[in-house]
Structure 1
């Protein structure tokens, strides 16, 4: 017999669904904990028991409904990098999902709690996986001696720049061009 979710789990699910729905309907700046609580059918204290800010709950809701692109490890570094960059470009180019991530990046510039939640829950784990993969490739002779942080910045920075600064949609072809340019050896 299937186990019935606990009241805590039902509340969590309702809160994350409400936060995601509201975020797809309005900009981050107009969201409120009060609105999320009302949509979820819970009180504000229920939200604050689990999340310390609006940014933290919205980020978790987004990550649950639109999982970020993980860093693969198939043993073929170039293919893994290409797959990873295609995933990032595809996510950011998606007309429904891309603006949600871009909107949070923009909002994080003015919301220190959201910025910290973004770094802690999304950026650092993905970055660590990428750095581990690149270090292993470098140590195994698959990459020249390079600073893995710089290499990750060189690979992802242009994609985010294209979206957030240039206002252009990143494509798989653009991701390929970035990868080819970064990995090209003289």
Structure 2
């Protein structure tokens, strides 16, 4: 008689975790963040509420993990440093444009954005898991460019980041026009002109 193999807890836990993240992502897209409950996530995932609370401290934490997991970066952002600042920034801004322009993500983005404005706990999750990592890598790339002389030595990196991302999110939030790679490239070119204006004639 062949020996019985004990279940692998790690495999079981990963399967449950994946089910929770999938359920949370689907439900927030269907009902919005405000109506989403831990009970509903647990029911769809086939786990107990205590399982969710063992791994995540709040509904917001589950949703942001689910969101980052589905989008493939799990909170880890990367920005290349090829030596061509404009090309590198256009690459990352095109990626942000693609995310915001995706009809499958639009309702989830907007639901989360509303909660970020109204719930300090959700805002903290958003800053820690999504916004700050993106801004940090962008700021690091701009700092590298400043050190290399591609930007003036007095460049305000925080202001530079706002110049890059602010107009994109403004256009998306107010639905002012299509989000395209061409638009993203124009934003980068305009931001770099503002940050590195031509020298005035003597």
Q: Same fold (TM over 0.5)?
A: yes
Q: With structure 2 as the length reference, what TM-score do the two structures score? A: 0.84
Taking the aligned partners of 1:7 and 1:80, their CA distance within structure 2 comes to 40
| 1:149 equivalent in alignment to 2:154 | no
Query: Counterpart in 1 of 2:29?
Result: 24
Q: How many residues align?
A: 184
Query: Counterpart in 2 of 1:63?
Result: 68
Alpha-carbon spacing, 1:79–1:14, altered in 2? closer, same or farther (3 Å): same
1:53: Cα distance to partner? Answer: 1.1
1:159: Cα distance to partner? Answer: 0.4
1:111: Cα distance to partner? Answer: 1.8
Query: Counterpart in 1 of 2:187?
Result: 178
Taking the aligned partners of 1:72 and 1:129, their CA distance within structure 2 comes to 9
Query: Counterpart in 2 of 1:158?
Result: 167
1:20: Cα distance to partner? Answer: 1.1
Alignment check: 8 A CA contact 2:86 2:189 kept: no
Alignment check: 8 A CA contact 1:92 1:99 kept: no
Taking the aligned partners of 1:166 and 1:97, their CA distance within structure 2 comes to 15
Alpha-carbon spacing, 1:123–1:161, altered in 2? closer, same or farther (3 Å): same
1:7: Cα distance to partner? Answer: 2.3
Taking the aligned partners of 1:134 and 1:100, their CA distance within structure 2 comes to 30
Equivalent runs, 1:19-58 vs 2, <5 Å: 19-58=24-63
Q: With structure 1 as the length reference, what TM-score do the two structures score? A: 0.90
| 1:140 equivalent in alignment to 2:127 | no
Alignment check: 8 A CA contact 1:92 1:169 kept: no
Query: Counterpart in 2 of 1:77?
Result: 85
Query: Counterpart in 2 of 1:14?
Result: 19
Taking the aligned partners of 1:44 and 1:152, their CA distance within structure 2 comes to 40
1:167: Cα distance to partner? Answer: 4.8
- Which consecutive unaligned segments of at least 5 residues does structure 2 have? 1-7
Alpha-carbon spacing, 1:86–1:60, altered in 2? closer, same or farther (3 Å): same
Query: Which of the pair has more CA radius of gyration?
Result: 2
1:118: Cα distance to partner? Answer: 0.8
Alignment check: 8 A CA contact 1:56 1:113 kept: no
Taking the aligned partners of 1:128 and 1:63, their CA distance within structure 2 comes to 17
